[in-house]
Structure 1
């Protein structure tokens, strides 16, 4: 029997890091910094550290998912970005190593951030790192029990946005809470899109994602609700805080395009386009909120 030849290119490694999910990293930091600036407390170095933490965590989660799903065989028939492990393009051990290197970068940046602001954030960071790995890693991954979207709402919404705001302003605000809920909802929608796409392969593989549990139709309705939340918050923030934040409604163009595709029954590769549209809407919404609150 000949030995397996691993041939992953730099491009394959980048694709496996799933750039279409990177808005999940950038959006909460932009939103949290916008909330801090609204309190007249924006700080560049904590912003940069928070961005490194969030980005490294997202990349680490993606490599960890590639490794864990690949060795379980749940990625064998999927559409979407390159899977290094399932496609046998890279050694599983190397993919796992890439995940832990990413987690290490996030951990170091997070430690510095905690030491500059509040020691108890070290504990929060440890929980985030554990959550990143056990999403699909370990013997009982919670992502296989329908908890993926809930975890993403907490980690990349509430914790990421409010943590960013707190490390810069030393406090959290009502505006920050609204932005955290919004980013969490959009991040969850990105993940839900992935899981709607993969229902046909996840179900027989025993991976009980929220989309598998709810079913295709109900999952698409939930996607619509999740993407409505940030625009309700935008309206309220405009009334209660600063009307210029209504500029974030501009992102609704891409949100509506994504909603049309999802509610028209998009499947397979068509949902990859929805992922890109949802991520683009989230990044733009957060960026416009950041600009508006910075000018408040």
Structure 2
């Protein structure tokens, strides 16, 4: 059990649900709460991330990418704690559980209505499962050709945040594209850190990540762009959301900007990356950036919960006045 928990790479799980949490609470701030959608969206996403971690362990393990040159904790197949055959079986089981959870999520979201929406999300779920596996598995694994960043941005940012919000609202709110893109960029930042750390070993193994293609120096600049752009998008979202929900635009709502607290570790992280001379020492920064992304999501969601509770109070008061 200990080896399987390690193979699931628990430290990656908070990052995977950041977009889901933000998308759910944004939708519920529109007064459309549905905790069944929230529960199965979280379950599906966590299973999908675990599947991705198992697949990465399997793909890099059988290809020899995980070797003595790799920095960071040893993978399960690399260390011999789990066999390739056992990992392959685990991938199949996790894929089936993910699909079952996704189907349940789709049912609670659309039920008998919106058949085309149900079919679209079913196809999207199957594509997400396939993408989680194909990142490192197979001769045409897209992670070995430098497309990992694009897929992470799409699935961790847009699909998770906008997708789960659509399940509530049955429409896409253009304003939500801003934080969805920010979560996607920060998630790509975590992947970029991983690739910066493993540049030497990836290059030897023929894993042509973006970092391998552009080099470590340009990868640093790329990293600054990812994190700073995400910070800007979050701030613009907060300003527009504050203006949208506040009848008095001159009143400053501190609660809406509480997420700026998370900018402190983000700025410190950028400083660490800037001063870094040895990519291998970037390993601890993966966890820090992932947790910072999760913190941003939680703090923004907290402001949405505040707005939701305030909206409920207004509705109750209006109902009391109506009956009086």
Q: Is the 8 A contact 2:153 2:185 kept in 1?
A: yes
- TM-score by structure 2 length? 0.85
The residue that corresponds to 1:245 in the other structure is 256
Could you tell me how far apart the structure 2 residues matched to 1:46 and 1:212 are? 40
Q: Secondary structure at the match of 1:241?
A: helix
Matches within 5 A, 1:105-254: 105-116=97-108, 117=110, 118-119=117-118, 120-242=120-242, 243=253, 244-254=255-265
Partner of 1:35: 26
Alpha-carbon separation, structure 1, partners of 2:199 and 2:275 = 17
Q: 1 or 2, which has the higher helix percentage?
A: 2
Give 1:266 deviation, angstroms.
5.5
CA distance in 2, matches of 1:154, 1:294: 26
Compute the displacement of 1:294 (Å): 2.1
Contact 1:195 1:211 in 2 (8 A): yes
> For the aligned residues, what is the CA RMSD?
1.5
Residues 154-163 or 225-234, more deviating: 225-234
- Distance in 2 (CA, whole Å) between partners of 1:38 and 1:178 is 16
Query: 1:37 offset after TM fit, Å?
Result: 2.1
Structure 2, unaligned stretches of length 5 or more?
111-116, 243-252, 308-324
Q: CA deviation at 1:191?
A: 0.8
Runs of 4+ in 1 over 4 A off after TM superposition: none
After superposition, the Cα gap between the structure-2 partners of 1:266 and 1:112, relative to the gap in structure 1 and judged at 3 Å, is farther
Per-residue CA deviations over 1:12-47 (Å, capped at 9, x if unaligned) read: 322222222112222011111122023222311101
Larger Rg: 2
Instruction: Provide the rounded CA distance (Å) in 1 between the counterparts of 2:74 and 2:240.
Output: 45
Contact 1:237 1:245 in 2 (8 A): no
| 1:103 shift after superposition | 2.1
Quote the residue 1:15 is aligned against. Answer: 6
* Map of 1:50 onto structure 2: 41
Correspondent of 1:85 among 77, 80, 103: 77
Q: Give the corresponding residue for 1:102.
A: 94
8 Å contact 1:258–1:274 — kept in the other structure?
A: yes
Separation in structure 1 between the aligned mates of residue 73 and residue 173 of structure 2, nearest angstrom = 38
Q: Residue 289 of structure 1 is aligned with which of 300, 305, 320?
A: 300
Q: CA deviation at 1:194?
A: 0.7
The residue aligned with 1:255 is: 266
Q: TM-score, normalised by structure 1?
A: 0.92
